[in-house]
Amino acid sequence: MLAGIAALVFIPSLLIAQQPAMKPKPAKRPGVHLSTAPTAAFRPTCNLDSNSVGAYFFPANLGAKWTFRTISQTLDVHNTLLQSDTMFSFERVVSDTNRSIQGFPVLRCESSMPYHAGGEDTAKVQTVEYYVDDSVVMTVFNHSLTSAVNHVMIVNPLQMGASWKDVSEDTIRTTVIATEEPVSTPIGDFSKSLVVRTPAGFGEMSKYFVKGVGIVKIVFRGIPPQQNATFVHTSELVALDRGDPKRSIRYRFPAVEPKKPATHKLKKNRTKVTQ
């Protein structure tokens, strides 16, 4: 499912080729301060509870593995199927002890190249790192949380209309379009999912996240320029191994005690009376 920079967006490599080229970063204007959302959004705690963005990532446990099936279809102007192909891909967590340059825990995963049914054992793999906390999930490049090519998958606030840049120096933005959307997948039906949408080359991509499971479905639909055809690529989660919950990345973050409410002591004004 993930090949080359495909690990950035959890989609097959054949979709990555359809992404528009990164536009040059605009020059800063005097008096204008530019900041990137991911850096500002870092909240280095990882409880993975109901309020955590990290709960929408796959199980962040050592040995966890998720497998996707991608069906690629080409349709003519009458929606008649012209061509179809089915590929598979997987990722597995192989280390939970790595850290970024900044000292934050990161997950190291093996990510497979797309393969046909029966080809898992011979599929080529590459290494991918993820940073997961209560406020943001992103793919990490060069072991740095502030790398300009890191790819943000999901970030607070998780509410309708919220949006963020997938890559800090690009103009493409992902937008939350639904927060309680039912979704059906080969591993089950879910009554609620978070849906985000991203412009992608000559089409758009929708990703469905389920709390406590991770991303369960990705749909790309687009019409290539100068072609009388529609491309539809659907990736769905077909298998999920949660790994060892006792080796979760959540335990790699330092414990943060809740702040105690401030108390203000009132000083008594003593007035000295002279006779």
Return the structure tokens found at 115.
């393969």
Across the range 245-258, mean pLDDT stands at 85
Instruction: Pick 147 or 3 by higher pLDDT.
Output: 147
Query: Read out DSSP for the chain?
Result: ---GGGGGTTS-HHHHTTSPPPPPPPPPPTT-----HHHHH-------STT-GGGGSSP-EET-EEEEEEEEEEE-TT--EEEEEEEEEEEEEEEEEEE-TTS-EEEEEEEEPPB-TT-GGG--EEEEEEEE-SSEEEEEBTTBTT-TT-EEEEES--STT-EEESSTTS--EEEEEESS--EEETTEEES--EEEEEEETTEEEEEEEETTTEEEEEEEEE--TT-S-EEEEEEEEEEEE--EEEEEGGGGSPP-PPPPPP--PPPP-------
Across the range 157-185, mean pLDDT stands at 93
Across the range 254-270, mean pLDDT stands at 59
Judge whether residue 5 has pLDDT over 70. Answer: no
Q: Looking at residue 24, what is its pLDDT?
A: 43
Rg, C-alpha atoms of the chain: 22
Judge whether residue 274 has pLDDT over 80. Answer: no
pLDDT class of 74 with cuts at 50, 70, 90: very high
pLDDT class of 261 with cuts at 50, 70, 90: low
pLDDT class of 171 with cuts at 50, 70, 90: confident
Q: Looking at residue 265, what is its pLDDT?
A: 53
Tens of pLDDT, residue by residue over 48-73, are 988 899 999 999 999 999 999 999 99
Q: Looking at residue 26, what is its pLDDT?
A: 45
pLDDT class of 169 with cuts at 50, 70, 90: confident
